[in-house]
Structure 1
Amino acid sequence: MSHETRLAELGITLPEVAAPVAAYVPAVRTGNYIYTSGQLPFTAGTLPATGKVGEGDGLVSPDDAQVYARTCALNALAAVRSVTGSLDAIARVIKVVGFVASDPAFTGQPAVINGASSVLGEIFGDAGVHARSAVGVTVLPLDSPVELELVVELV
């Protein structure tokens, strides 16, 4: 089955590629690989939340952050499609690097980045199984709670 068809079956519409907030491009192709720049969870041009992820008042909940990681993955796929013209050009997802702006006591970064890994699996099946890093950081651009990079291999 086509990846584009699967996306439609899941009722997922990829967003427009997020405009870079500094001096970079959203994605670069080299040989049979595409590397995305870090993608924030922009929805309609705005961040749905800002701040650190953790448990407690004033923090972004881990469950919300997991949803934002999913959004980051979809934004990254939009960046890939802007280079390839179609998700059907993807042979497999190679690597996901997820960054979580974390409260010092928070250690659930892998569960947050599961939001991205899960949607990639839903879309690509076995070709969506990837290597991954889930890293806790002090702060991310624009005070985003999550940021994500993808590396994909092309057919």
Structure 2
Amino acid sequence: MGVTEKLAELGLTLPPVVPPVASYVPAVRSGDHVFTSGQLPMVDGALTATGKVGAEVSAEDATAAARVCALNALAAIDALVGIDSVVRIVKVVGFVASAPGFTGQPGVINGASNLLGELFGDAGIHARSAVGVAELPLGAAVEVEMIVEVAPA
């Protein structure tokens, strides 16, 4: 079963690609890899979670936001090369706007990682970093970027 069918089975659709908010593109291909820009939890042009996780945003809401970030990254990949050309998820980097003392960044970024596992199975198992930061663009609570391997062009 391809990723497109798996998305449908899970009741998900890839959203439109989120337009860049500065001077960059959503994704770039280099050889057999696609690198996404950091994706925020945007749905229909609005952030789903703003503020610091562990203060204004619960860990649960941030985890859901990380899932949205992953869907947005997949949409950028799909627009560039087609989602079904993804061979494996290589690396995920997640940034969490964290309140002082919040140390649950890995759990928050599981929102993205678990979705990738659901969609890609063993090919969705990836290397990862989950980093707490003071601020993210537009006040977002979470940001996720990916590196994926794709079928040769």
Using the size of structure 2 for normalisation, the TM-score is: 0.97
Q: What do you get for the CA RMSD once the two structures are aligned? A: 0.7
Give the percent of matched residue pairs that are identical in Structure 1 and Structure 2: 62
**Deviation digits for residues 80-123 of structure 1, max 9, x if unmatched?**
00101x21100000000000000011000000000000000000
- Correspondence 1:127-146 to 2 at 5 A: 127-146=123-142
Q: CA deviation at 1:5?
A: 1.0
Q: Residue 70 of structure 1 aligns with which residue?
A: 67
Secondary structure of the structure 1 residue equivalent to 2:61: helix
Is it true that 1:19 corresponds to 2:16 in the alignment? Answer: no
Is it true that 1:83 corresponds to 2:80 in the alignment? Answer: yes
Secondary structure of the structure 2 residue equivalent to 1:150: strand
Is it true that 1:98 corresponds to 2:94 in the alignment? Answer: yes
Q: CA deviation at 1:32?
A: 0.3
Q: Residue 108 of structure 2 aligns with which residue?
A: 112
Alignment gaps of 5+ in structure 2: none
Alignment gaps of 5+ in structure 1: none
Is it true that 1:2 corresponds to 2:2 in the alignment? Answer: yes
Distance in 2 (alpha carbons) for counterparts of 1:63 and 1:42: 17
Q: CA deviation at 1:10?
A: 1.0
Using the size of structure 1 for normalisation, the TM-score is: 0.96
Q: CA deviation at 1:72?
A: 0.1
Q: CA deviation at 1:8?
A: 1.1
